Amino acid sequence: MLKAKLFFISLLTGSALVLSACDNANSENKAPVEGASQPAATSILGGSATIVLPQGYVKMPKELLEAKYPAAQRPQEAWYVESEGGKVSIAFSATSSAISDAQVEKFADMMKQQLSSFSPSLSQVTVNGRKMSRIEMLTPAADGKIYNLMQLSSRDGKLLISTFNVTEDLQVKYAKAGEEALSTLKY
């Protein structure tokens, strides 16, 4: 009986390892499956950072990135829920603007003032040991409103802007998972 249990455990463990290897084969363009015992982090920004994305996110193709974001505001990389037609996304803009960890909060406060017509809220969070600021607001869009959660941080002495966006009609369904994903950012 003990041999049968050991054989079953070995078979189960081996199957899990094979399946996880298959799942990671296409991890460049798809987020890991939610519900795994320890979700795998998705490599972003050329491998210089990672984030644990919710199930269903895929890397936004260059053509869609160019269509969705004006050139001056285009992030280097974005991930989106393909089944929602681009209404749910997480984007990353690694800017060339110098900023220290100590300056992030003051910069976020200035941004909050500039965005005051949208009644933003500002909060401070710690993500993987790094202090970051978050600005949360609803902004108008052609067909409704967009919930925006902008996370500001200093990465290698430069401003990193990570944003989660979702249309207001899908906010209840996706906002919590978007916030949780931003809380896994690591670099």
Q: Is residue 172 part of a domain?
A: yes
Three-point CA angle 61, 63, 66, nearest 5°:
110
Range of the domain at 113: 31-182
CA distance 48 to 146: 29
Q: Is residue 22 part of a domain?
A: no
Reference 127, options 46, 178, 51; nearest CA is 51
Phi, psi of 113 (to 5 degrees): -65, -40
pLDDT digit string, tens, across residues 4-53: 333 333 333 333 322 222 333 333 454 544 444 557 899 999 999 999 99
Q: Pick the more confident residue, 149 or 65.
A: 149
Q: Is residue 14 part of a domain?
A: no
- Assign residue 50 the CATH number of its domain: 3.40.1000.10
Quick one: tokens of 109? 């406060």
Q: Is residue 84 part of a domain?
A: yes
Q: Is residue 44 part of a domain?
A: yes
pTM summary value: 0.77
pLDDT digit string, tens, across residues 155-171: 999 999 999 999 999 99
pLDDT digit string, tens, across residues 91-130: 999 999 999 999 999 999 999 999 999 999 999 999 999 9
Cβ atoms of 60 and 49 within 8 Å: the answer is: no
Q: Is residue 122 part of a domain?
A: yes
